[in-house]
């Protein structure tokens, strides 16, 4: 380990510099005979050839560093010395690599002052390809190995590697693109830097007006957003808790159905819930029709605006809260509850003074996720908002609307980020540093105390009507795909499904002739790639943040929230800004879509992981360490199995969000990589609801199948606890 | 080597993905398409049939497309921008995002289409025009016993109180065309006076320009101010929607085409541009059930299409009202005088 790892990475980096094309090949590696042009062809040449043969001298220093690392790895040095040397060398190499990539771009020097300082450059460079990327990864690995051998991160190379991976990837795929767009908040339309412009942009009355309090017109978008998010966070947490309690602590018979029902809204492609709500509660909707017919109440338009958006958001985000909370509620140890009862606390006191406080990290996390989901939500406000504007819609229209003002969009995005930051800070203050560990290594923990009657009834009376309502809405939606015109002509038809998913048999085999197949398979493929990456990155980050001590931990935790809190449209445009030009020119590929999925959705994995991890007693880790289990062994054989609900949650979320995201990927899809959601949205824009809903139903079926598969593959967490069914008779 | 695992996984998936980018040695053109998706597909297929050049078509709204062009300006990925309302095309020309080009077909076009070309310094040209008008829900009006609106003045009638929906010009190009039309029709002060009176009958200023006509289709509002071809689309989808154009006169949008500056496939881009101006290409709109007025005089106009001859069109000054300074000024006046009014 001492020598082999740095040796292997130095060698890998050097091999990449010799044997792979340094720059990206536009049409893909397998499209051209690059092997023969590795030295002579300027397009396909390896890093070494570029530096020696094609006049790209600036590539030489980082490559020399790799050689130095190889020498250091081979030299007979004490561990600590080698670590210091490796870390220094690879650090310098990374700086050199970054400097040349930033300074020299598609058109030679990338900034005017560089050209005037050094003179015009005869050469230029494109995006990083296989060779360049691998060399970069090798240097990053060497840095983490070096730091670990020097003694950082508890001297553990695994922890060091994990921190470096997570930090570097978040820096590259979250911070870097977001920085690109946020800096525009300080620039005027000609790109001139004017810091005061931000204040000017944010001071507008449209943002801060409080007229609605005195009943004269609408309030500013900032207040709208804040108020909506607070209501959504609180509401979805309460509903999520009710569902979690019913699902884990009562003898309710249809728990599985309940679970599926609560999951339905997250796996619903956007706009469908909004449209269904309009068809049920809209002016010409079912409810109003009935009220007018039976009681003569004239139809109203209450669904448009705050109430409708809140309702749709509660629908959409309660399941997320439920996913965060279920593991937490399950994890609360009966031992403490039994102890409370032994001390003569009644069930109500036990619930309010023991169980609930132990769920605090979960509740706070659920609230935070609900709050941030709400401020970043775009689909529901756009369908149901009417006059009620929120920041995300304002930002969207600043980018794509009649004004095309990136500066304004960036300024509003900063405001949105500030809100997320404030919520994040408050959540940390609330949860604090207290211990919530209730999963320990001690065997049977006793029976969970039955819920007090009041709590049980409340939970039931909240959860069950809500579930019934969800069921109604979905039944109604499902019908939409099977009738001629949803909301208008209810003649049954299969035409929409045939149009989307027909398969023809011919002499050469099956022809997938349906209009939706192309985007369907692309979506399945990309989501299946993104989900495990999202979950792995999210959970590893959670583990680092909760279990490891290192400098910049809180920063890392916050950085994972960044891309989640920024609305999708901004992320999409930011990705185009950052990744349409070298050094990382990946627009138009499937890679950029996958990266966007992973880094946008890993936050929920992080939150769920953190909530679950803070319940697992550290002594388990220590026991494993005492038995000479290394850090990786402890992680994979002790922590991970106890985190199965969180793993399932992160995987499921990673998959379904990849399938249902719209606003972030609108700018990233291409003719080759079209996604299901963008296809559906175009259908909705055309008023072709039948096809849109038929497609959405197919996607829902796909995601349900994926969830079942994920649950099956990951398996249940087995805590040493007896089943709860025993007390069901009494309930 | 345990440390290698996460890295190796990332490297492997990244390389794997990079390699799946398909080889495309064939002649291609990348088209950003801002008309309705059926029309886009049809155009792509027909162009490919006619020229053998493969069309890589990405469909996006015009606002999204110009946002993308701006973000990609340093290293353009698209070649042609086909369709979508004229103002963003003019804006792109103003921002230097598109390339000046003089097509040999220019002489075959209607004067309004050519004017779009001269106004933009040659950077864009009209391929179709669509008039602004009213969409209304026949069932709701029948229930109310109200007559369909025929003039701008009709919208002020008390029976339409809380029944009219129009988009917010801050976000919607359609709403901006409406304001610019009224200003050109009556002069600025009288136009804003009208808008203030109209405010009493408006139930919502929606964010999106096509939302009002969808609300009409679904019976959520009785009347909308929309482009009439959007109303025809809803009617064809089976909703009780009818459209009409105001008797005082109305404005229109000019759907345009532009070539992206620095396009990678410039020759093919020009080929597509030329082709889009021919009658063979322009009749595809009607085939896709889109009934705007085509810009080539020789294009056959289908009977369903609203005839421009029957519509009282104003002499819409695209050059003046397409400029971003004028737009900003009118929108901020709308904001302070109309948008800030309390709900009636």
In chain B, domain spans: 25-129+253-306, 131-251+324-339
pLDDT score of A122: 67
Those of residues 82-101 in B touching chain A at CB distance below 8 A are 87-88, 91
Closest CB to B58: pick one of A160, A529, A669.
A669
Integer Cα distance of B76 and A580 in angstroms? 8
According to DSSP H, which parts of A343-390 are helical? 347-350, 356-358, 360-376, 379-384
Across the interface, whether the CB atoms of B172 and A24 are under 8 A apart is answered: no
First to last CA, chain B: 71
Integer Cα distance of A326 and B105 in angstroms? 66
Contacts of B214 (CB under 8 A, 6+ apart): A687, B234
Same fold, B25-129+253-306 and B131-251+324-339: yes
Closest CB to B6: pick one of A161, A400, A669.
A161
Those of residues 169-198 in B touching chain A at CB distance below 8 A are 169-173, 175-176
Q: Is the CB of residue B103 less than 8 Å from the CB of residue B124?
A: no
The CATH number for B131-251+324-339, chosen from 1.20.120.160, 3.30.300.30, 3.30.70.260, 3.40.190.10, is 3.40.190.10
Substitution target in B71, B201, B233, B262 with the highest count of A β-carbons within 10 Å is B71
Least confident piece of the model among A110-124, A475-489, B163-177:
A110-124
User: Where on the phi/psi map is residue B300: left (φ > 0), alpha (ψ -120 to 50), or beta?
Assistant: beta
B3: chain A residues, CB-CB within 8 Å: 5, 141, 144-145, 157-158, 160-161
Token output for A690: 């039948």
Across the interface, whether the CB atoms of B4 and A24 are under 8 A apart is answered: no
pLDDT score of A593: 93
Q: Which residues sit opposite A489 in a β-bridge?
A: A485
Q: Does B15 have pLDDT greater than 70? A: no
Integer Cα distance of A420 and A634 in angstroms? 33
Q: Does A509 have pLDDT greater than 80? A: no
Burial of A19 (0-12, 13-18, 19+ CB in 10 A): middle
Name the residue with tokens 């999520």. Answer: A240
pLDDT score of B251: 92
Q: Is the CB of residue A376 less than 8 Å from the CB of residue A565?
A: yes
Q: Which has the closest alpha carbon to A165: B12, B9, B13?
A: B9
Across the interface, whether the CB atoms of A400 and B21 are under 8 A apart is answered: no
Residue of B nearest to A534 (CA): B10
pLDDT score of B128: 93
Integer Cα distance of A178 and B67 in angstroms? 16
Burial of B274 (0-12, 13-18, 19+ CB in 10 A): middle
Q: Please tell me what DSSP assigns to residue A121.
A: -
pLDDT score of A529: 94
Q: How many CB pairs under 8 A join A and B?
A: 215
Across the interface, whether the CB atoms of A590 and B21 are under 8 A apart is answered: yes
pLDDT score of A443: 57
Between the alpha carbon of residue B47 and those of residues B29, B83, B125, the distances in Å are 10, 15, 19
For residue A667, the distance in angstroms to the closest alpha carbon of chain B comes to: 7
pTM of the model: 0.82
Helices (H) and strands (E) in chain A, counts: 34, 6
Percent residues over pLDDT 90 in chain B: 50
Q: Does B151 have pLDDT greater than 90? A: yes
What percent of the residues of chain B are helix, what percent strand, and what percent coil, each to the nearest 5? 50, 20, 35
pLDDT score of B4: 45
For residue A30, the distance in angstroms to the closest alpha carbon of chain B comes to: 6
For residue A465, the distance in angstroms to the closest alpha carbon of chain B comes to: 27
Which residue did the predictor score with more confidence, B276 or A403? B276
Handedness of CA B315, B318, B319, B325 (dihedral sign): positive
Integer Cα distance of A142 and A6 in angstroms? 6
Least confident piece of the model among A138-147, A314-323, A328-337:
A328-337
CA A398 to chain centre: 24
Question: Residue B26's CB: how many other CB atoms inside 10 A?
Answer: 8
Closest CB to B23: pick one of A31, A130, A576.
A31
For residue A23, the distance in angstroms to the closest alpha carbon of chain B comes to: 12
CA A539 to chain centre: 12
Longest dimension (CA), chain A: 92
Those of residues 276-335 in B touching chain A at CB distance below 8 A are 327-328, 331, 335
Integer Cα distance of A3 and B201 in angstroms? 79
Residue of A nearest to B205 (CA): A387
Between the alpha carbon of residue A115 and those of residues A62, A308, A544, the distances in Å are 22, 56, 43
Integer Cα distance of A13 and A18 in angstroms? 9
Question: Residue B295's CB: how many other CB atoms inside 10 A?
Answer: 27
Between the alpha carbon of residue A141 and those of residues A87, A160, A161, A355, A550, the distances in Å are 10, 9, 7, 44, 18
Across the interface, whether the CB atoms of A27 and B24 are under 8 A apart is answered: yes
Across the interface, whether the CB atoms of B13 and A529 are under 8 A apart is answered: yes
Q: Which has the closest alpha carbon to B215: B250, B167, B266, B176?
A: B167
B94: chain A residues, CB-CB within 8 Å: none
Q: With bands split at pLDDT 50, 70 and 90, how would you rate the model's confidence at B2? A: very low
Which range is most confident: A291-300, A548-557, A606-615, B48-57? B48-57
Q: With bands split at pLDDT 50, 70 and 90, how would you rate the model's confidence at B26? A: low
For residue A707, the distance in angstroms to the closest alpha carbon of chain B comes to: 22
Token output for A540: 């590893």
pLDDT score of B242: 93
Which residue did the predictor score with more confidence, A173 or A638? A173
Closest CB to A301: pick one of B1, B172, B220.
B220
B233: chain A residues, CB-CB within 8 Å: 686-687
Residue of B nearest to A159 (CA): B3
The mean of the pLDDT values for chain B is 86
B68 interface with A at CB cutoff 8 Å = yes
A308: chain B residues, CB-CB within 8 Å: none
Q: Does A730 have pLDDT greater than 50? A: no
Token output for B152: 């701008």
Q: Is the CB of residue B34 less than 8 Å from the CB of residue B292?
A: no
Residue of A nearest to B14 (CA): A591
Q: Is the CB of residue B124 less than 8 Å from the CB of residue B87?
A: no
Q: Is the peptide bond before A271 cis (omega within 30 degrees of 0)?
A: no
Per-residue pLDDT tens digits for A212-241: 766 666 678 889 999 999 999 999 999 999
Residue of A nearest to B24 (CA): A27
Q: With bands split at pLDDT 50, 70 and 90, how would you rate the model's confidence at A722? A: low
Q: Which has the closest alpha carbon to A334: A237, A444, A445?
A: A445
Phi–psi pair at B202, nearest 5 degrees? -85, 130
Contacts of A417 (CB under 8 A, 6+ apart): A182, A562, A565, A566
Q: Which has the closest alpha carbon to A512: A524, A523, A522, A500?
A: A500
The CATH number for B25-129+253-306, chosen from 3.20.20.70, 3.40.190.10, 1.10.760.10, 3.40.50.2000, is 3.40.190.10
Per-residue pLDDT tens digits for B156-176: 999 999 899 998 888 788 899
Q: Is the CB of residue A319 less than 8 Å from the CB of residue A262?
A: yes
Q: Helix (H, G, I), strand (E, B), or coil: what is residue B204?
A: strand
Q: Which has the closest alpha carbon to A522: B35, B17, B24?
A: B17
A106: chain B residues, CB-CB within 8 Å: 74-75
Across the interface, whether the CB atoms of A28 and B22 are under 8 A apart is answered: yes
Q: What is the DSSP string of A381-431?
A: HHHH-TT---HHHHHHHHHHSSS--HHHHHHHHHHHHHHHHHHHHHHHHHH
Integer Cα distance of A502 and A278 in angstroms? 30
Least confident piece of the model among A206-210, A596-600, A642-646:
A206-210
Closest CB to B233: pick one of A283, A484, A686.
A686
Integer Cα distance of A683 and A686 in angstroms? 5
Which residue did the predictor score with more confidence, A84 or B302? A84
Token output for A604: 């929920």
User: Half-sphere exposure (CA, 13 Å, Cβ side) for A157?
Assistant: 23
Instruction: Taking residues A501-520, report their average pLDDT.
Output: 81
Across the interface, whether the CB atoms of B341 and A217 are under 8 A apart is answered: yes
Phi–psi pair at B58, nearest 5 degrees? -115, 120
Burial of B139 (0-12, 13-18, 19+ CB in 10 A): middle
Per-residue pLDDT tens digits for B74-85: 889 899 999 988
Q: Which has the closest alpha carbon to A616: A645, A650, A642?
A: A642
Q: Helix (H, G, I), strand (E, B), or coil: what is residue A162?
A: helix
Substitution target in B19, B20, B21 with the highest count of A β-carbons within 10 Å is B21
Q: Which has the closest alpha carbon to A272: A666, A684, A667, A658?
A: A684
Which residue did the predictor score with more confidence, A475 or A332? A475
Contacts of A559 (CB under 8 A, 6+ apart): A170, A171, A174, A175
Closest CB to B207: pick one of A29, A206, A393.
A393
Instruction: Taking residues A17-24, report their average pLDDT.
Output: 85
B30: chain A residues, CB-CB within 8 Å: 671
Integer Cα distance of B132 and B176 in angstroms? 11
pLDDT score of A184: 84
Across the interface, whether the CB atoms of B335 and A206 are under 8 A apart is answered: yes
Residue of A nearest to B340 (CA): A217
Closest CB to B1: pick one of A4, A387, A670.
A4
The mean of the pLDDT values for chain A is 82
Phi–psi pair at B32, nearest 5 degrees? -90, 120
Name the residue with tokens 């495990």. Answer: A532
For residue B79, the distance in angstroms to the closest alpha carbon of chain A comes to: 13
Across the interface, whether the CB atoms of B14 and A144 are under 8 A apart is answered: no
Residues in chain A: 731
pLDDT score of B19: 42
> C-alpha angle A700/A705/A708, rounded to 5°?
125
A405: chain B residues, CB-CB within 8 Å: none
pLDDT score of B16: 45
């Amino acid at each position: 380990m001492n020598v082999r790892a740095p040796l292997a990475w130095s060698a890998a980096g050097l091999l990449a510099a010799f044997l792979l094309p340094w720059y990206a090949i536009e049409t893909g590696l397998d499209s051209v005979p690059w092997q023969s042009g590795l030295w002579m062809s300027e397009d396909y040449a390896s890093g070494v050839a570029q530096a020696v043969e094609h006049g790209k001298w600036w590539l030489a220093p980082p490559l020399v560093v790799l050689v130095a690392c190889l020498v250091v790895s081979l030299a007979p040095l004490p561990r600590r010395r080698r670590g210091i040397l490796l870390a220094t060398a690879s650090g310098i190499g990374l700086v050199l690599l970054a400097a040349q990539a930033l300074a020299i771009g598609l058109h030679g020097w990338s900034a005017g002052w560089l050209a005037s300082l050094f003179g015009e450059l005869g050469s230029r460079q494109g995006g990083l390809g296989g060779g360049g990327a691998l060399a970069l990864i090798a240097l990053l690995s060497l840095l983490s190995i070096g730091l670990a051998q020097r003694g950082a991160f508890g001297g553990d190379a695994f922890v060091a590697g994990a921190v470096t991976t997570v930090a570097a990837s978040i820096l590259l795929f979250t911070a870097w693109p977001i920085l690109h767009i946020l800096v525009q908040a300080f620039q005027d339309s000609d790109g001139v830097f004017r810091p005061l412009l931000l204040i000017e942009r944010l001071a507008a009355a449209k943002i801060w007006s409080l007229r609605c309090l005195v009943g004269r017109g609408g309030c500013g978008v900032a207040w709208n957003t804040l108020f909506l998010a607070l209501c959504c966070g609180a509401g979805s947490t309460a509903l999520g808790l009710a569902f979690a309690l019913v699902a884990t602590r009562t003898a309710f018979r249809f728990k599985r159905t309940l679970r599926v029902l609560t999951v339905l809204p997250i796996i619903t492609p956007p706009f469908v819930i909004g449209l269904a709500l309009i068809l049920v509660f809209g002016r010409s909707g079912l409810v109003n029709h009935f009220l007018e017919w039976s009681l003569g109440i004239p139809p109203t338009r209450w669904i448009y605006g705050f109430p409708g958006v809140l309702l749709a958001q509660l629908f959409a985000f309660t399941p997320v809260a439920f996913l965060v909370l279920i593991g937490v509620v399950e994890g609360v140890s009966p031992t403490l509850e039994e102890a409370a009862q032994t001390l003569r606390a009644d069930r109500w006191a036990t619930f309010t003074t023991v169980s609930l406080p132990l769920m605090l990290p979960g509740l706070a996390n659920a609230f935070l996720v609900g709050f941030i989901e709400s401020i970043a939500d775009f689909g529901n406000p756009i369908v149901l908002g009417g006059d009620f504007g929120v920041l995300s819609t304002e930002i969207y229209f600043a980018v794509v609307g009649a004004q095309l003002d990136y500066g304004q969009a960036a300024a509003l995005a900063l405001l949105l980020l500030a809100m997320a930051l404030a919520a994040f800070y408050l959540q940390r203050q609330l949860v604090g540093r207290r211990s919530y560990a209730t999963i320990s290594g001690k065997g049977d923990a006793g029976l969970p105390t039955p819920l007090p009657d009041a709590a049980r009834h409340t939970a039931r009376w909240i959860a069950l009507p809500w579930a019934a309502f969800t069921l109604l809405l979905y039944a109604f939606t499902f019908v939409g795909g099977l009738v001629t015109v949803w909301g208008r002509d209810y003649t049954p038809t299969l035409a929409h499904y045939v149009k989307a998913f027909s398969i023809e048999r011919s002499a050469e085999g099956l022809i997938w002739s349906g209009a939706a197949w192309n985007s369907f398979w692309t979506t399945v493929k990309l989501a299946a790639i993104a989900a495990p990456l999202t979950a792995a990155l999210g959970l590893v980050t959670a583990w680092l943040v909760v279990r490891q001590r290192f400098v910049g931990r809180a920063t890392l935790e916050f950085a994972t929230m960044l891309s989640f809190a920024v609305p999708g449209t901004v992320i999409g445009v930011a990705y185009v800004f950052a990744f349409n030009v070298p050094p990382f020119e990946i627009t138009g590929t499937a890679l950029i879509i996958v990266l966007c999925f992973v880094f946008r959705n890993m936050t929920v994995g992080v939150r769920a992981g953190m909530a679950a991890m803070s319940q697992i007693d550290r002594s388990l880790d220590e026991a494993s360490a005492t038995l000479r289990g290394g850090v990786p062994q402890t992680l994979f054989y002790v922590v991970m199995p106890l985190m199965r609900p969180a793993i399932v949650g992160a995987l499921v979320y990673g998959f379904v969000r990849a399938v249902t995201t719209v606003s972030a990927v609108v700018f990233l899809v291409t003719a080759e990589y079209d996604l299901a959601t963008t296809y559906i949205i175009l259908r909705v824009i055309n008023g072709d609801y039948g096809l849109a809903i038929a497609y959405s139903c197919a996607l829902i079926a796909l995601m349900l199948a994926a969830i079942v598969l994920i649950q099956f593959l990951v398996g249940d967490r087995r805590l040493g606890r007896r089943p709860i069914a025993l007390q069901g008779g009494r309930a | 080597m345990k440390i290698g695992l996460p890295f190796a996984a990332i490297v492997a998936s990244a390389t794997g993905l990079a390699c799946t980018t398909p080889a495309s040695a064939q002649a291609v053109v990348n088209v950003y398409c801002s008309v309705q998706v059926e029309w886009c597909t049809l155009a792509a297929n027909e162009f490919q049939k006619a020229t053998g050049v493969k069309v890589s078509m990405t469909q996006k709204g015009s606002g999204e497309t110009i946002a993308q062009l701006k973000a990609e300006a340093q290293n353009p990925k698209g070649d042609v921008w086909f369709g979508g309302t004229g103002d963003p095309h003019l804006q792109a020309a103003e921002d230097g995002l598109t390339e000046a080009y003089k097509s040999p077909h220019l002489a075959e076009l209607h004067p309004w289409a050519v004017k779009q070309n001269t106004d933009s310094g040659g950077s864009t040209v009209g391929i179709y025009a669509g008039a602004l008008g009213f969409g209304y829900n026949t069932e709701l009006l029948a229930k109310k016993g109200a007559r369909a609106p025929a003039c701008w003045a009709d919208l002020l009638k008390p029976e339409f109180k809380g029944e009219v929906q129009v988009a917010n010009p801050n976000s919607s190009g359609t709403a901006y065309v409406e304001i610019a039309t009224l200003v050109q029709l009556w002069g600025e002060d009288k136009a804003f006076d009208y808008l203030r009176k109209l405010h009493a009958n408006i139930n919502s200023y929606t964010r999106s320009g096509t939302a009002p006509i969808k609300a009409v289709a679904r019976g959520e509002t009785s009347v909308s101010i929309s482009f009439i071809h959007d109303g025809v689309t809803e009617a064809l989808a089976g909703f009780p929607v009818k459209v009409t154009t105001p008797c005082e006169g109305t404005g229109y949008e000019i759907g345009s085409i532009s070539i992206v500056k620095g396009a990678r496939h410039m020759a093919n881009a020009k080929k597509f541009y030329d082709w889009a101006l021919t009658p063979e290409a322009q009749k595809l709109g009607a085939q896709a059930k889109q009934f705007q007025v085509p810009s080539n005089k020789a294009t056959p106009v289908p009977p369903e299409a609203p005839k421009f001859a029957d519509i009282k069109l104003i002499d819409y000054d695209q050059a003046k009202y397409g400029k971003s300074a004028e737009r900003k000024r009118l929108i901020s006046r709308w904001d302070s005088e109309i948008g800030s009014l309390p709900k009636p």
